Amino acid sequence: MGNNKRYAFICAYNGSNYHGCQLNNSVKTIEGTLLEVLFDLGYLSLPISIPNDENIEEQKEINDEPSEEISLDEDNPIIKSVTDEENVFKKYRPSRIGLQRSSRTDKGVHSSFNTFIVKSSTNLVLKKDEIQDKLPSDIFIYKVMRVTKGFHAHRRCESRIYHYYVKKTFFNYKRNEVNIKEPLSKAIKYYLGCNDYFNFTSYKNKKDTKRFIRRIELIEENDYYMIEIEGNSFLYNQIRMMVGYLIQIIRDALLISDKEEEIIKYLENNFKKCFTEKMNILKVPGEYLLLYYQLFKNYNEVHSSLHGKIEVEINLLNEVTDKLIKSKMFTKENEDLFLSVIDKFDESLNK
């Protein structure tokens, strides 16, 4: 154990078949899949058996870390009653192997670039191809690299960039056929800067709900709008509800008028109520959400001479994203799911 070094796995994955990236009992996760491969190859030290109450503390410790997309609901249970054979926390001992991730993603959410940390006495840099061969095809390793002894993946990540894809017609669903590009372009800018997102999270008792959005852009990709959002940290479900609110308020405006200037005026008068007044907000599906990129600028500037930079070349990133994620994202099944979510939300408002 004394010769253990800390290694970073810089990965992309399609989240469709996983209940999030974070290690969890009884459900398939990205971390669980990666650790299983490392364990089977003999690259993780076999942990000593520990009492059940320490297992609970281990699970609590891994979940207390601040994060973006971590679910505590019935779809992604954090602590379940399992046998010793099923208990991944007892099997892998996350704190003993130094398990970390720079960002958490929820059930069904994808990532073009996420960073996972483990400690091992084996030089995992030399084992990248062997590990990749054992992983399923929906997880791709860009590189394995050493990081410094005190490296903390979540804290060292200074900025996170998410992409959310919305079919253009979703904004007009059961509304007039109006080009809403200009109103939408103006609406997204209301998110810039620091705002209170107490309406935009499934955490009912979250105390600190203010978040800073550094940048937000609207990009057209064929039949879809891609909304790019950059910030340091996000609340659980915040991004999905930010996009949901855009759809919600534009559909509300279309009930009043189909004239562009009147839609824009409606947004000016009503958009920012979401930051001050309690309201129900549409939460769109995770299937169209993508953790696109992460920035480790300070770490790379200070420590890159030791082990290299935590980064991915943009052309490779986009190539992997297209093949691994986007080629499977725009399906009829996902479209139907999205529209059913809007229908259910409309029904809930009419009750």
Same domain, 110 and 167: no
Query: Do the domain assignments include residue 340?
Result: yes
Same domain, 276 and 338: yes
pLDDT reading at 84 higher than 80: no
E runs forming strands in 88-184: 100-101, 110-120, 139-146, 159-167
Query: Do the domain assignments include residue 64?
Result: no
With beta carbons less than 8 A apart as the criterion, state whether 6 and 98 touch. yes
For residue 138, give the CATH number of its domain: 3.30.70.580
Q: How confident is the model at residue 82 (pLDDT cuts 50, 70, 90)?
A: low
pLDDT at 2: 58
Angle (CA) 102-22-209 rounded to 5° is: 65
pLDDT reading at 342 higher than 90: yes
Summarize pLDDT for 133-149 with one digit per residue, the tens.
Answer: 999 999 999 999 999 99
Same domain, 153 and 166: no
Summarize pLDDT for 189-222 with one digit per residue, the tens.
Answer: 999 999 999 999 987 667 899 999 999 999 999 9
The two tokens of residue 166 are 């919305």
pLDDT reading at 109 higher than 50: yes
61-75, 128-142, 190-204, 324-338: range with lowest mean pLDDT: 61-75
pLDDT at 51: 47
pLDDT reading at 80 higher than 90: no
Same domain, 116 and 175: no
How far apart are the C-alpha atoms of 58 and 3, rounded to whole Å? 23
E runs forming strands in the chain: 5-13, 100-101, 110-120, 139-146, 159-167, 193-196, 210-221, 224-231, 289-295
pLDDT at 74: 32
The two tokens of residue 212 are 């800073």
Same domain, 112 and 139: yes
**What mean pLDDT comes out for the span 36-59?**
67
pLDDT at 83: 58
Same domain, 116 and 42: yes
Query: Do the domain assignments include residue 196?
Result: yes
Query: Do the domain assignments include residue 198?
Result: yes
With beta carbons less than 8 A apart as the criterion, state whether 171 and 39 touch. no
How far apart are the C-alpha atoms of 264 and 249, rounded to whole Å? 11
Same domain, 100 and 138: yes
Pick from 94, 96, 123: nearest CA to 1: 96
Same domain, 87 and 230: no
pLDDT reading at 252 higher than 80: yes
For residue 277, give the CATH number of its domain: 3.30.70.660
- Structural domain boundaries enclosing 108: 5-46+80-157+297-312
Same domain, 165 and 216: yes
**What mean pLDDT comes out for the span 284-292?**
98
pLDDT at 26: 86
Query: Do the domain assignments include residue 253?
Result: yes
Query: Do the domain assignments include residue 73?
Result: no
- Residues serving a catalytic function are 106
